[in-house]
Structure 1
Amino acid sequence: MSEYGYTFGGREPIATIKPGSPVSLRTLDCFGGKVRGVDDLPSRVCVFPELNPVTGPYFVEGAQPGDTLAVHIVSLTPASPVGISSTFPHFGALTSTGYTRTLQPPLEERVWLYDIDLVHQTVRYQARNSDFSTLLNLAPMLGTVGVAPAAGEVRQTIVPDVHGGNLDTPLLAPGATLFLGVNVPGALLALGDGHARQGDGEVGGVAVEVAMDVTIVVDVIPGERTGTPRLETDRQLISLGAARPLEDAFRISQEDLVRHVAELTGLDLLDALQLVSQTTEARAGNVVDPQYVMSAAIDKRHLPGVVAYGGVHDRLRGL
């Protein structure tokens, strides 16, 4: 069986991993390596739905339904000197789509190549129709991390939801820990969709896509259910919401953060709402996929003495 797939759920595990043991793997770019130059238009060289491949799934020892899986990103290194981006007809935040119907013609399909310099930690933007270019900071992230959904459901990797999936948030970077609810024995973790960098919202529909060498370490938090994906960094606690319309994704992320803060601090719900309301940072993950993603974050300095998930983020970070 291939180590790459295009769904969460519906596939047998390719390997077993142990909590606390670092795992190194390679992910493909969202085009599966088929776009190599500016003339390789994705609509010609890629076959839907074989887009956004993920590596896995992995069976996590000890993970059972009702637990929470913690996935700590140790390192992300682009595995190619060139990143790729594109515009697609009927895909993106600023064009007509199957959900947002208009009469204007679709965007032109166009491919951009980005030179990646690991030594200087940069990616170079070069306009296609002029000599304009500029250096951008390399900011590697994983677009897609998820587990098998509940109730035997199978979801395409391009869809974000409570199982994770195509979250497309720049916050999913080295040093971050992602928390996902476990729905099936072993969780069946899969990940992919490496980005050399991406702006909030992924407005054009495609980030700077690149194959990625990934190291992660996981842990299982038994008996603690996580309903919507959460992140922890050294600075922030973050809740993620996936839905359409965008304001519902916003509400999901904010509601979960308020409840999380209330549980961690012992504040009643309105006191927690007041604290979150005055401190939250809200960022769009993507505004292009079948469901949109919003994040809600609170700085941990506003929560003195509070430890989430028994301190698993700090423990995995320390490894």
Structure 2
Amino acid sequence: MLTLQRGQGPVDGDRYLGADPAAVHWGLLPNADSTPVLTVDSGTSVTLDTISHEGILGDQGRDPAAFFGAAGIPRGDLLHDTVELAAGPYPHDPVVHGPHVVTGPVAVRGARPGDVLEVEVLRLRRRTDYGVVSSRHARGALPGEYPLAPAGHPRGEPVPPVSLVAMVGEDGRGRLPVGDGRELAFPLRPFLGIMGVAPDTGAPVHSVPPGRHGGNLDVRLLGEGARLHLPVQVPQALFYAGDPHFSQGDGEVALTAFEAPLRATLRLTLHRGAADRALAAALRAPFAETADEHLVLGLDEDLDEAMKHAVRDALTFLDHRCGIPGPVALAYLSAAADFHVSQVVDLVKGVHCRLSKADLAPLHLSRPA
């Protein structure tokens, strides 16, 4: 079984950052007062290990050996950094902390507020052949219906989480047990649910809601080859990443998707041109791109409002990048763009708009970088 331990195996980037307890934050994201654990120049590729929170949370016993052992995963196939974090004296109170573990922060030398940090996803390697899909805490798309109460569960008592251990088969597909000897097989689409920069605050930053800082965006298209553009909010940017997924469907309706650890290689590049800074300042959320599409995000606690934000920011994007007037841009969005629900489970809900690069390339304005 695959086990890519900290400090072992391939490192694809210029620098490496392991997920030892001194280099991660659990439940709270880095803020303006956080101390970087690594400093790099713009354009540097960084390979960092990420830890999945599934299997180490308090409602799962905070004992990954017991949790995964119950699913037939031997102790020898557990990641050392996961075991160390769960067993250590690291506070994690679900009342005040989110579930996620993030690696970092990484300082980008010379980054200033108003700059744009481009995060290019170069390589995502699986660190294990197993992971978890969970429904819990009366959350998800059906909070009053799932998870189901077990037989004989006292009425009115909190329903325990349902956490299913999924595997990666020899064919490279995810496999989820049905419970009667059968399995559901599905393709893997690895990505990092959390990539972000430190917000300009000294207050604690909960790991669950995404925002202009990025964070828990949970956009499944941000896999290998994608580029996320984050507006820098504090000196040195203070970048972090975590919440690794082997796969996720748009919506992430259960609460989690196929959560499992990744070794991620990311190139961190600063953009300081007037056009880049103006676009980032005009948008309510980070923006992104894949090989074929531009991605514009809408974020709000109300899904209807998130949709409106995505449409408004798509109009802003088309104006800044292509000089398309609002009425024409709105007609184009209606005729040709796709709006997808990223997730509905992170307090702040997400919608992402997919704009064809091929459609827009002939209209791009020539502006100073």
Q: Tell me the alpha carbon deviations over residues 237-291 of structure 1, each in whole angstroms, 9 at most, x when there is no partner.
A: 1111211110111111121111111111112222222212211111111101121
Alignment equivalent of 2:294, drawn from 237, 240, 244: 237
1:309 and 1:160 map into 2 onto residues whose CA distance is 32
Q: Name the % identity.
A: 27
5+ residue gaps, structure 2: 1-20, 57-61, 72-85, 146-154
Question: Does 2:24 correspond to 1:4?
Answer: yes
Alignment of 1:271-310 (within 5 A): 271-306=328-363
Q: 1:150: how far off? A: 2.7
Report the equivalent of 2:44.
21
Report the equivalent of 2:177.
126
- Report the RMSD for the aligned CA atoms in angstroms: 2.7
Report the equivalent of 2:249.
199
1:66 and 1:125 map into 2 onto residues whose CA distance is 44
- Would the alpha carbon gap of residues 276 and 105 (structure 1) be closer, same or farther in structure 2, given more than 3 Å must change? farther
Report the equivalent of 2:68.
37
Highest Rg: 1 or 2?
A: 2
Report the equivalent of 1:112.
164
Q: Is the Cα contact below 8 Å between 1:77 and 1:212 reproduced in 2?
A: yes
2:310 and 2:344 map into 1 onto residues whose CA distance is 15
Q: 1:37: how far off? A: 2.4
Report the equivalent of 2:225.
175
2:360 and 2:197 map into 1 onto residues whose CA distance is 29
Q: 1:309: how far off? A: 11
Q: 1:174: how far off? A: 0.8
Alignment equivalent of 2:143, drawn from 79, 83, 95: 95
Q: Is the Cα contact below 8 Å between 2:54 and 2:132 reproduced in 1?
A: no
Q: 1:30: how far off? A: 2.5
Q: 1:115: how far off? A: 1.1
Q: 1:231: how far off? A: 0.8
Report the equivalent of 2:16.
none
Q: 1:89: how far off? A: 2.7
**TM-score relative to the length of structure 1:** 0.86
Alignment equivalent of 1:263, drawn from 294, 317, 320: 320
2:159 and 2:338 map into 1 onto residues whose CA distance is 32
- Would the alpha carbon gap of residues 279 and 107 (structure 1) be closer, same or farther in structure 2, given more than 3 Å must change? farther
Q: Is the Cα contact below 8 Å between 1:244 and 1:291 reproduced in 2?
A: yes
2:238 and 2:366 map into 1 onto residues whose CA distance is 21
2:318 and 2:114 map into 1 onto residues whose CA distance is 21
- Would the alpha carbon gap of residues 234 and 309 (structure 1) be closer, same or farther in structure 2, given more than 3 Å must change? farther
- Would the alpha carbon gap of residues 7 and 288 (structure 1) be closer, same or farther in structure 2, given more than 3 Å must change? same
Report the equivalent of 1:57.
105
- Would the alpha carbon gap of residues 254 and 153 (structure 1) be closer, same or farther in structure 2, given more than 3 Å must change? farther
- Would the alpha carbon gap of residues 39 and 107 (structure 1) be closer, same or farther in structure 2, given more than 3 Å must change? farther
**TM-score relative to the length of structure 2:** 0.75
Q: 1:50: how far off? A: 5.7
Report the equivalent of 1:316.
none
Q: 1:123: how far off? A: 1.0
| SS, match of residue 22 in structure 2 | coil
Q: Is the Cα contact below 8 Å between 1:79 and 1:213 reproduced in 2?
A: yes
- Would the alpha carbon gap of residues 307 and 13 (structure 1) be closer, same or farther in structure 2, given more than 3 Å must change? farther
Report the equivalent of 1:69.
117
1:144 and 1:311 map into 2 onto residues whose CA distance is 30
**How many residues are aligned here?**
302
Letter aligned with residue 111 of structure 1:
S
- Would the alpha carbon gap of residues 308 and 32 (structure 1) be closer, same or farther in structure 2, given more than 3 Å must change? farther
